[in-house]
């Protein structure tokens, strides 16, 4: 089932030469792939946001209490 917007775009594309249709289709594939990647990224990090907030609050509290120390990158 297509929306009217998709039907309109298809009709517009059909009026173009095949080579142009192929170029448009390739651009659309790339664009849709990027959108799908963005959706996956957002889903992956949506569940971790509360954990990140909690970790940041804990870090701020430890800094305020003097429990934090400067990180020595040579010891990593």
Which tens digits make up the pLDDT trace of 4-38? 999 999 999 999 999 999 999 999 999 999 999 99
Per the structure, the count of domains in the chain is: 1
SS3 at position 23: helix
* C-beta separation of 60 from 51 below 8 A: no
User: For residue 38, is it within any domain?
Assistant: yes
User: For residue 27, is it within any domain?
Assistant: yes
Each residue of 41-50: pLDDT tens digit? 988 888 788 8
User: For residue 72, is it within any domain?
Assistant: no
pLDDT computed for residue 1 by the predictor: 62
User: For residue 76, is it within any domain?
Assistant: no
User: For residue 36, is it within any domain?
Assistant: yes
Each residue of 50-74: pLDDT tens digit? 888 999 999 999 999 988 888 888 8
Q: Which domain holds residue 37?
A: 4-63
Q: Does the predicted model carry a pTM greater than 0.75?
A: no
Tally Cβ neighbours within 10 Å of residue 69.
8
């Amino acid at each position: 089932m297509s929306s009217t917007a998709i039907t309109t775009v298809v009709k517009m594309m059909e009026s173009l030469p095949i080579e142009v249709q192929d170029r448009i289709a390739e651009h659309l594939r790339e664009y849709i792939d990027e959108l799908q990647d963005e959706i996956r990224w957002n889903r992956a990090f949506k569940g971790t946001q509360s954990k990140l907030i909690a970790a940041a609050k804990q870090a701020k509290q430890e800094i305020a209490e003097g429990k934090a120390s400067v990180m020595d990158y040579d010891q990593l």
